Amino acid sequence: MDGDFIPMNGYAVSGIIQQGGTILQSARSERFRTKEGRKMAYQNLKNAGIEGIVAIGGDGTFTGASVFMSEYPDIKIVGCPGTIDNDLFGTDFTIGYDTAINTAMNAIDNIKDTANAHNRVFFIEVMGRDAGFIALRSAIATGAEAVLVPETTSDIDGLVKLLKSNYKNKKKASIIIVAEGDDAGGAMDVANAVKAQVDYFDIRVTILGHVQRGGRPTAMERVRASQMGIEAVNALLDGKKGVMIGQIHNKMVHTPFEKAIKHHDEMNKQLLTVVDILG
C-alpha cells in the first residue's frame, strides 16, 4: 500500500533458509481491510508491473486475498500455508508447525527435569487458541500425563483423579499440557481449578508463549516450505489463482481458498487415545 517494494533475486534470499519468522516482516493491516487501502495496493502493484502474488499465512491472509481478487481479478494470488497452528484444510502440515512443536518439546523437556527433581506438578500452556494440534503432539512427544485441547471438553475432576492416583503410586511429578484456547481456560485457570480440590500438590505454571513462534526451522520444515514455494510459483505461471498449495500424503495439492478457510482439519482422535495410554 505504500509502494515499498524491494526486488528479490536468488542472491537476495541467500542464507535465509535457517531463519525463523519472516524476512518480509509482514503483519495484519487495518488499512487493507478498507476498500481505499486495497485500491491503493492495487494501483501500486500495477505501477510496479506485478501480475501475481504468493501470499503466505492462514485464515486471515487467505480471506484478505479472496476479497482482493474479487475486486481486482487481474491480480492472481496463490497461497502457501504459513501458520504454527496446523489448522488449515488442504495440507497435512503447515509451514511453521513442525518447528513450533519441536520448540515446545525442547522447552517441556527442560521443565520436566525440574518437575522430577522437586516433585512438582507443572501445567504448561502452549499456543492454540482454536486448535490443539501443538498441545497434542508435544504432549505425546514429552510423555505428558494429560493434555487439554479446545476440541474436547475438559474433565477437571478426571484430571484430579489421575493426579491423585499418580501421587498415591509415588509418582509425584507430572506434566499437564494445556492449549491456550481450552474450554477450561489457560494453564493458570486449570491449575487453580486443581488447587481448589487438592492442596498437597506443589503446583507450578509455565506459559511458553511466543517462544514457539521463533527458532531455527526443522529439516522437514525447510524441505516442505521449499517444495511449496516452487509449487506456488509454478501455479502462477500456469495461470492459476485463488488456491492454497498444500502437501497431502507427500504429494503437492491445490485447495481453493474458500475450502481451506471454511473446512478446518479435525483432530486425530487416535492421538488423544495415545496420550491416555502413555499418561
From first to last of the 279 residues of the chain, give the pLDDT tens digit: 999 898 888 888 888 888 888 888 878 889 999 999 999 999 999 999 999 999 999 888 999 999 999 999 999 999 999 988 888 889 999 999 999 999 999 999 999 888 877 788 899 999 888 788 899 999 999 988 889 998 888 888 888 888 888 878 777 788 999 998 888 888 888 888 888 888 888 888 989 988 888 888 999 999 999 999 999 999 999 999 999 999 999 999 999 998 888 766 666 777 777 877 776
Q: Which residues pair with 207 in a beta bridge?
A: 125
**Domain chopping of the chain, boundaries:** 31-96+217-262, 98-213
C-alpha cell belonging to residue 223: 524441505
Q: What's residue 108's pLDDT?
A: 92
Nearest alpha-carbon partner for 245 in 262, 218, 225, 263:
225
C-alpha cell belonging to residue 196: 481448589
Q: What's residue 271's pLDDT?
A: 79
Domain 98-213: which CATH number of 3.40.50.460, 3.30.460.80, 3.40.190.10, 1.10.10.10: 3.40.50.460
Inter-residue contact 82 to 96 (CB < 8 Å): yes
Gap between the Cα atoms of 73 and 95, Å rounded: 27
Gap between the Cα atoms of 180 and 41, Å rounded: 35
CATH of domain 31-96+217-262: 3.40.50.450
pTM of the model: 0.85
Gap between the Cα atoms of 275 and 145, Å rounded: 7
Inter-residue contact 61 to 55 (CB < 8 Å): yes
Gap between the Cα atoms of 107 and 113, Å rounded: 10
Gap between the Cα atoms of 61 and 66, Å rounded: 9
Task: Tell me the one-letter amino acid at 51.
Answer: E
Q: What's residue 126's pLDDT?
A: 92
Gap between the Cα atoms of 195 and 238, Å rounded: 59
Task: Tell me the one-letter amino acid at 119.
Answer: N
Q: What's residue 263's pLDDT?
A: 64
Query: Catalytic residues, which ones?
Result: 85
Domains 31-96+217-262 and 98-213 are alike in CATH topology: yes
